[in-house]
Amino acid sequence: MDELTREQFATAVAEALSSVQHLHREVHHLMARLRDVLGQGSARLNTVTGTMPGISRDDTRMVLRHEYGLLLAPADSDEAGSEDEGEDALEETPEEEDVPRPGRRRTPPIEIEASRRLLAIRVAIHDPQSAEAFEPHVAYAVVGDWSVGGTAVGDGGRFLVARRMLRRIPRLLSTRTLSVGDRVMTSARVKSVGMSKSGRDRQLGLRLRSAVERQPLYGFDTIESLDQLAEKMKTVWSTAQ
């Protein structure tokens, strides 16, 4: 094979980056459409503030992710907020979103009722561990029945969790062996309010209130197909145990 010229190499790099950037912007549009449709109707689900990923407007970098997550709560709950980061937010790397930085505007932690259900959505684009066998897909499930450090939070109980930690919850949908009723420990940690300060004792757990549904991203190329997916999510939400 003939070696690329300098001009051909530069063109190939530019085209590759442009294609990847286009893919990630399309994923953002997909999530925004799901958010909008799920927020309509009588049983509306609104985005939990701080979990809707933004699109980077920093011309000096391109943030690429293997996955995106989103959490939604009933519109009449304390967890669901009218404020939404949406497409105006500055995208951060996974490392940046998990570590508070000096000078960053601090968003107050969210208080979640122990009995509150949430709809978790994960859009997986790439898996570096099994790249050849992996297919980009959307996964979603209803989660609830929260625990902290392995101890269930009783009825009427509440706990505080930083909003950046909430973004870790949809990552559990990457596990292929989950079933309805399974209790899972997430990588999120609650704030130490009346609890031990050790990391293990603050680890957030939950129970799957529905099966994890997965659909390949291939084929979601029209508004109608995304609306149909949102309606399936609504059905899963309404029938969750």
Better pLDDT: 128 or 14: 14
In a domain, 68, yes or no: yes
The rounded distance, in Å, linking the Cα atoms of 23 and 227 is 20
Give the pLDDT confidence score for residue 42 in this predicted structure.
Answer: 81
In a domain, 82, yes or no: yes
In a domain, 18, yes or no: yes
In a domain, 37, yes or no: yes
**What is the average per-residue pLDDT within 8-36?**
91
**Number of structural domains the chain divides into:** 1
In a domain, 212, yes or no: yes
The rounded distance, in Å, linking the Cα atoms of 173 and 140 is 7
Give the pLDDT confidence score for residue 76 in this predicted structure.
Answer: 79
In a domain, 1, yes or no: no
Q: What are the backbone dihedrals phi and psi of residue 135, each rounded to the nearest 5 degrees, phi first?
A: -125, 125
**Domain membership of residue 171 as a residue range:** 6-239
Which of 50-54, 63-67, 156-160, 173-177 has the weakest average pLDDT?
Answer: 50-54
Residue 156: pLDDT over 80:
no
Query: Residue by residue, what is the 3-state secondary structure of 63-90?
Result: CCCCEEEEEEEECCCCCECCCCCHHHCC
Answering whether pTM is above 0.85, one says no
In a domain, 81, yes or no: yes
In a domain, 140, yes or no: yes
